[in-house]
Amino acid sequence: MELLPDSCALLVVDIQEKLFGKVLGADRLLERITLLYKGCKILNIPVVVTEQYPQGLGKTVLAVEEAPLAKTAFSCARDPATKKAIEYCNKKVWILCGIESHVCILQTVKSLLKEGFTPIVVQDAISSRNELDHSSSLQEMRALGVRITTVETVLFELIKDAQHPQFKELSRLIK
């Protein structure tokens, strides 16, 4: 499955103040999510950002241009406002990052698959509070046939060639 900028969008799931510091590798995770987010912005890939019950979990920890969509459903694709945003983007492929791997990411993946979308999970840009939950969710998603990859793999696959107009800008971002 080849990633093409015109056919995909990024879904940033619930990276909020009160939970983010409790997930495994939070500092590195924020670096990877930031890199993925900025890379997608450089490539003009649409972005949807969600917040799980922001009254309780706080605001998004990443500086984003998009207004985060508040939700209570664990699956982004089951929340009416987020589902509407996903449909509005009119993209078949959804690149997922955020937290928690075993709850909102996994349930979103299952819902996207059910709705006919193709989710791609960026494993160095997702996490959970404990390793067993995180690793078992990756295993379950692989068993569902979901592509599991990394931030740099996604970004370089999107540009395909060092002659791409945004290669230098993306390359500086990655270094």
The residues that are catalytic are: 14, 71, 104
Q: In terms of DSSP bridges, do strands 69-71 and 93-99 run parallel, antiparallel, or are they unpaired?
A: unpaired
- Picking from 36, 13, 9, 8, the residue whose alpha carbon sits closest to that of residue 23 is 13
Rounded to the nearest angstrom, the gap between the alpha carbon of residue 167 and the centroid of all alpha carbons in its chain is 22
- Picking from 112, 67, 80, the residue whose alpha carbon sits closest to that of residue 93 is 112
64: Cβ–Cβ under 8 A, 6 or more apart, which residues? 12, 37, 47, 49
Question: Which DSSP string do the residues of 77-146 spell out, in sequence order?
Answer: GGSHHHHHHHHHHT-SEEEEEEE-IIIIIHHHHHHHHHTT-EEEEEEEEEE-SSHHHHHHHHHHHHHTT-
